[in-house]
Amino acid sequence: MSDSLDQIFINAKQWILSLLSALPGWLTPLVSCLINIAALLGVFLTLFAAISVLERKILGRMQNRYGPNRVGPFGLFQPVADGIKMLIKEDIVPVRADKLVHFLAPILIAATAILTLGIIPYGRNMTPFAIDGGILFFFAVGSTTELAVFMAGWGSNNKFSMLGAMRAIAQMVSYELPLIITTLPDVMVVGALSPDAIVAAQDGYWTGVLPYWFVTTPWGAAAFILFFVSGLVESNRTPFDVPEGESEIVAGHMTEYSGFKYATFFLAEYFGMFAISGLAVTLFLGGWHAPISILEFIPSYVWFFLKLSGLLFVYIWIRGTLPRTRVDQIMNFAWKFMLPMAFTCIVAAAVWHYLGRGFAGWLSSLAVIAIVYVALSRLLETKKRFATRTYRFAE
């Protein structure tokens, strides 16, 4: 019963394909791909609608104010109202803008976000497009986000948009390096670029209790934190939402966008957040594996989306807690701390691997991480720079 429930979506897809068995043989793979795409879009568009209202409700609860509560019961129809508003809102394009580039930018950034969702294993045998170089594909496709942001800034023919785009690209390129480098320890230890192989390598439990997830190792825990922070920046989330600056007068590269084009940027931002969080679950949190062996009867996709929901809640929690940082602080943090620590994770993973992946390797790996962390904290001492301010008043 448990196995049939776990594979219910796979069996449903096979049943649909069996009904279409009369089709020519060359059409079957195409129909299979279309089913995967429809399922992927259906799930994540629903999740996008849900999180758009839940985020405002959670932030309202954290900040002791009301969230959406007018449209529908408990405000649950707010996403529908938002969608209708964006669809009927006037689409204004600057007279001197590059019309084609201005139009293509939101399409490209949304397509990029959707493609990255295709290689993540959402459950046992539930990878929409399983390819051997899935991790490489994720970052190769994801890197086109910078091109889309540049197109939005350049195509708007607006100095504020262009400066916002350049600021966003500088930030995204800086944090894409530690984002990619922190995935290398997993690839090295597993010896594969396939997300399915990485999830399979995290199967099992230490002494039958602790899950054999990479986040339980010192190098995995450090890499996970660095990956998560880099994901915050790549998703333009607080406290790293400097390119957008939604509480300021302008909105970065999206300044000249309105209506459904602006909604497409908004959707792509959340889809990117889903993709980064999903990849973090895959790389470090065991993917769809249960945290305790006695809970393996629960369907695998339930565990994946529970972990994904946990990370999304942390995204919202951080947004409701931390103020926006300055551009120079963000860039210094990337190049002076994040990048050295990301390379340190590779060395620590190598030490852990070559010492037999046992307790000695665990301690040695922890020592490597701790030594570099302490050294960097000493070198980047900021207490003098941010000394207590003395106020002097005129008589």
Domain's final residue, options 84, 111, 144: 84
The pLDDT value recorded for residue 67 is 87
The predicted pLDDT at position 217 comes to: 93
* Residues counted in the chain: 395
Residue 52 maps to a domain: yes
Domain identity same for 97 and 77: no
Co-location of 163 and 259 in the same domain: yes
Residues 6+ apart with CB under 8 A from 18: none
271 lies in the same domain as 180: yes
18 and 72 in a single domain? The answer is: yes
In a domain? residue 220? yes
d(CA 160, CA 153) in angstroms, rounded, equals: 8
Which among 55, 84, 113 is the end of a domain? 84
- 8 and 136, same domain (yes or no): no
Q: What is the pLDDT of residue 294?
A: 86
- In the prediction, which pLDDT does 251 show? 74
Segments in the chain forming alpha helices (H) = 2-6, 8-19, 27-62, 78-88, 99-116, 134-142, 145-155, 159-181, 184-190, 195-201, 218-234, 259-284, 300-319, 327-332, 339-354, 359-379
* Residues 98, 99, 102, 107, CA torsion sign: negative
Do 129 and 50 have their domain in common? no
Number of structural domains the chain divides into: 2
At 1 the pLDDT is 42
- Give the pLDDT of residue 138: 94
Q: Do residues 139 and 217 share a domain?
A: yes
Instruction: Tell me, yes or no, if the pTM score tops 0.85.
Output: yes
> Is residue 374 in some structural domain?
no
Query: For residues 250 and 277, what is the distance between their CA atoms, to the nearest angstrom?
Result: 28
What integer pLDDT is reported at residue 305 of this predicted model? 95
If asked whether residues 258 and 143 sit together in one domain, one would say yes
Coil/strand/helix, residue 206: strand
Last residue of a domain, one of 346, 373, 389: 346
What domain range includes position 30? 1-84
Compute, in degrees rounded to 10, the torsion defined by CA atoms 312, 318, 319, 321.
Answer: 150
Are 213 and 268 in a shared domain? yes
Same domain for 325 and 233, yes or no, is yes
Specify if 394 maps to a domain.
no
Task: Indicate whether 171 and 260 sit together in one domain.
Answer: yes
Q: Which residues of the chain have pLDDT under 70?
A: 1-2, 208, 244-249, 382-389, 394-395
Distances (CA, A) of 51 to 69, 78, 153, 270: 15, 11, 27, 9
Residues 264 and 210 in one domain: yes
Helix (H, G, I), strand (E, B) or coil at 351: helix
Cα–Cα distance, 128 to 139 (Å, whole number): 17
Structure tokens at 390: 């003395």
267: nearest Cα among 17, 20, 49:
49
Using alpha carbons, select from 371, 367, 312, 310 the residue that is nearest to residue 340.
Answer: 371
Residue 80 lies in a domain: yes
Q: In this predicted model, what pLDDT tens digit does every residue of 294-344 receive, in sequence order?
A: 888 899 999 999 999 999 999 999 998 988 888 888 888 999 999 999 999
Residue 239, preceding bond cis, omega within 30 degrees? yes
